[in-house]
Amino acid sequence: MPDIYSFLQTVRRLCRSLARGAAERMCRAAGAVITVVSVAAVAFLFWAGYAGAERDAAPAFYEEGAGDRTLRPAGEPAAFNVDPVSRLEVSFIAGSEQGRRFVGGLWERRIQDELARSDLEVETLTREILMHTGQDAQGAKHSGQKPGQAGKAIRYTARDYEVLLKIVQAEAGICDEKGKIMVANVILNRVRSSEFPDNITEVVYEKSQFSPVSDGRINTCEITRETIECVDRALAGEDYSEGALYFMNRRGSASSNIEWFDRRLTFVKEHGGHEFFK
């Protein structure tokens, strides 16, 4: 019970922290959108005024004075002075087709930038939640077989996550989804075991444990979308390994290694060309 209470408290503090961060980001995004809408509204009002001035141009005229020009309706006294150059600039920006397109282009680019930034922030928040809790809503819905429940959640860094993706791709790239998840399960089981290092990176790079590390394939493999999904599911708790700590491909292993597995370890199950032991 103390462990569950402590975990719930941690999740509560994390959610409050993320909520504050999300609120700040939403405020910034809202401010940017309001700015853009304001610019568009001003541009529209200038355009409307420009169009109205064109319709009412017949009864109006310019009156030359000593050094200035006054625009006023016929038969009425002059009310204000207008700089023709300034009016021409405003008319070009707000009234011309080119000006409207220019303002519209700025508006569109600003909105696209804000949307892209919001998408990135959502993705970052999601990854932070996964990295802090080690839980995901996907669960077992991807598999026809009900998976076992993994042990305690594992804390991991971005480096650990990248290493886990690489070793699963290198070891099980041609396997089906379940085969990929089981290889990830073995790595995570080792992290939980007192017989191995307590983090993913050190487990994977421990001497003479995984052939892709020894021959360098771990650094050249191309990680697929399926591998990413399978690793995420394993981190979320989807587990078919039954506690296995070792696996091997009998057809691709040296006879001395096969003998060591058969003599020293307990066979658990076989799937996708891999035999799992503990």
- pLDDT 10s digits, 72-113: 454 555 444 545 545 545 455 555 666 666 766 776 777 667
- 122 has pLDDT over 60: no
Beta carbons of 127 and 169 less than 8 angstroms apart: no
Q: Mean pLDDT for the chain?
A: 73
- 241 has pLDDT over 60: yes
The CA–CA distances, whole Å, from 61 to 46, 56, 77, 79, 84 equal 21, 10, 12, 13, 13
Please name the residue ranges forming H helices in the chain.
Answer: 2-55, 84-90, 97-133, 158-172, 177-192, 200-204, 211-215, 225-236, 255-264
- 190 has pLDDT over 80: yes
Phi, psi of 238 (to 5 degrees): -70, 120
Beta carbons of 246 and 278 less than 8 angstroms apart: yes
- 161 has pLDDT over 80: yes
- 115 has pLDDT over 80: no
* pLDDT given at position 70: 46
* pLDDT given at position 152: 74
Residues near 169 by beta carbon (within 8 Å), at least 6 away in sequence: 221, 222, 223, 224, 227
Mean pLDDT value of segment 258-269: 94
Name the band, by pLDDT with cuts 50, 70 and 90, for residue 198: very high
* pLDDT given at position 3: 52
Beta carbons of 254 and 260 less than 8 angstroms apart: no
Q: What is the CATH superfamily name and number for domain 148-277? A: Cell wall hydrolase SleB, domain 1 (1.10.10.2520)
Residue in 98, 103, 92 with CA at minimum distance from that of residue 39? 103
Strand partners, 267: 277
* pLDDT given at position 172: 94
Q: pLDDT digits over 41-61, tens only?
A: 555 555 555 445 444 444 444
* pLDDT given at position 81: 52
For tokens 């009425």, name the residue. Answer: 76
* pLDDT given at position 143: 41
Please state, in angstroms and rounded to a whole number, the distance separating the CA atoms of residues 82 and 141: 71
Mean pLDDT value of segment 141-153: 54
Please state, in angstroms and rounded to a whole number, the distance separating the CA atoms of residues 59 and 27: 49
* pLDDT given at position 5: 52
* pLDDT given at position 138: 45
Residue 154 DSSP SS3: coil
Residue in 178, 128, 177 with CA at minimum distance from that of residue 148? 178
- 258 has pLDDT over 70: yes
* pLDDT given at position 20: 59
The CA–CA distances, whole Å, from 212 to 97, 204, 253 equal 62, 10, 13
List the single range of 87-101, 184-198, 251-265 with lowest mean pLDDT. 87-101
